[in-house]
Structure 1
Amino acid sequence: MISDVVVVTVAALPVAVLVVWALARRRGGSGPAWRQSLAEVGVVYGTAPWIWMILTPGPGDDVRVNVVPLRDLADVLSGGVWTATVQIVGNLLVFAALGFFGPIRFAALGSVLRMLALAAGLSVLVEVAQYVLRLGRVSSVDDVLLNAAGAGLAVLLSRRWVTHGRAT
């Protein structure tokens, strides 16, 4: 499953680049047109594969909900270094593209608190969808916390680019 998502994501990169080019050209091809186009495509290209992966059926039929903060994180950490790294980094990356590119496109998303709230809300929707669709996955508050944290950290990483774009 993960390999399918990775293959399709890599294969879609030339299409994403072409879409950025077409959008920028349609908008006049100036610097702001390129930034806006890259930001819009970046949000979609960087978020859609993670959502696709999250909303594909899991390996089991077990449907669980965990609303106790840090319980699943403790389980993941006890599962070994590789498992912990993949789970934690993967969850941090789910809305990282939104956190990075969102403020470049929409100035109102430049606030870390706003981005944390948006990413947490979107993450809750994804976790509820996992449960309602009975995908054999655990719906966990820890996933929401990590997804939001990844978006918040990405906002901080994009600050220099956002500030630079506004100064020109």
Structure 2
Amino acid sequence: MDQVWRDWGDVLLAVAACLPLLVLVTAGLARLRRDAPAGEAWRRSIAEVGAVAGTLPWVWMILTPRDAPRQVHLVPLRDLADLLTAPPATAVVQVVGNLLVFAALGFFAPVRFTALASIRRLFLLGAAGSLLVESLQYVQDLGRVSSVDDVLLNATGAALAGLLSHRWWARPSASVRPAAVSTTRPV
């Protein structure tokens, strides 16, 4: 964990320093939505700020250059299999870190955008975002590994986080919906 702090401490401090600003931005967005009901204005604002603020630090970390040659790993599950022989701390940091990259996006996107309200769509959203980031790592020659396993883990993280927020975006089932009101008069 000391290595994580050495590598990413500046990102973590920047995120902590920005938290008050994020609260102000969220409140400002909610206030600008005067035409929406108060609860809905706050819901949308929290979802937008949460998705962006929860994803950008991870993208910052992923796109930070390293002093190493760039690599491409296109064989699915090979990197994950290699983690089985890695030290446990390395495996945990790699797997959990990759699951968290698009987790905030997966958690908040369906709350804000009903078109994304399915686990399959969240997986595809996470995969598309991850494919973009992995491609940028390679094209910009950042000394990082562009891996298909990272795409799979990032997409899985988005889908799993979507499951955690499911109660805020799922549509009620037919059994929960109110009964239809009869328009006929009793005789």
Q: Which residue of structure 2 aligns with residue 79 of structure 1?
A: 86
**Paired residue secondary structure (1:69):** coil
99, 109, 119: which is aligned to 1:112? 119
Q: More displaced, 116-125 or 40-49?
A: 116-125
2:20 is aligned with 1:14: yes
TM-score by length of 2: 0.84
Letter in 1 for 2:69: D
Q: Distance in 2 between the 1:112 and 1:56 partners?
A: 30
Q: Distance in 2 between the 1:77 and 1:42 partners?
A: 33
2:102 is aligned with 1:101: no
Task: Give structure 1 regions of 4+ aligned residues with deviation exceeding 4 angstroms.
Answer: none
2:136 is aligned with 1:129: yes
Indicate if the aligned counterparts of 2:69 and 2:144 stay in contact, CA closer than 8 A. yes
47, 56, 79: which is aligned to 1:39? 47
Q: Distance in 1 between the 2:138 and 2:51 partners?
A: 25
Q: Distance in 1 between the 2:170 and 2:159 partners?
A: 17
Greater helix share, 1 or 2?
1
56, 63, 75: which is aligned to 1:48? 56
Shift of 1:122: 1.1
Task: Pick the structure with greater CA Rg.
Answer: 2
Indicate if the aligned counterparts of 2:104 and 2:161 stay in contact, CA closer than 8 A. yes
Shift of 1:64: 0.5
Q: Distance in 2 between the 1:157 and 1:131 partners?
A: 32
Q: Which residue of structure 1 aligns with residue 180 of structure 2?
A: none
Identity of aligned residues (%): 59
1:101-146 alpha-carbon deviations (Å, 9 max, x no partner): 0000001111111111111011111001000111010000000000
Q: Which residue of structure 2 aligns with residue 4 of structure 1?
A: 10
**Paired residue secondary structure (1:78):** coil
**Paired residue secondary structure (1:65):** strand
Letter in 2 for 1:66: H
Letter in 2 for 1:99: G
Letter in 1 for 2:64: T
Q: More displaced, 48-57 or 73-82?
A: 73-82
TM-score by length of 1: 0.93
Q: Distance in 2 between the 1:89 and 1:53 partners?
A: 14
Shift of 1:76: 2.3
Pairs aligned (count)? 165
Distance 1:84 1:155, change over 3 A: same
Shift of 1:78: 1.6
Q: Which runs of 5+ in 1 are unaligned?
A: none
Q: Distance in 1 between the 2:14 and 2:80 partners?
A: 29
Q: Which runs of 5+ in 2 are unaligned?
A: 1-6, 178-187
Letter in 1 for 2:100: L
2:32 is aligned with 1:26: yes
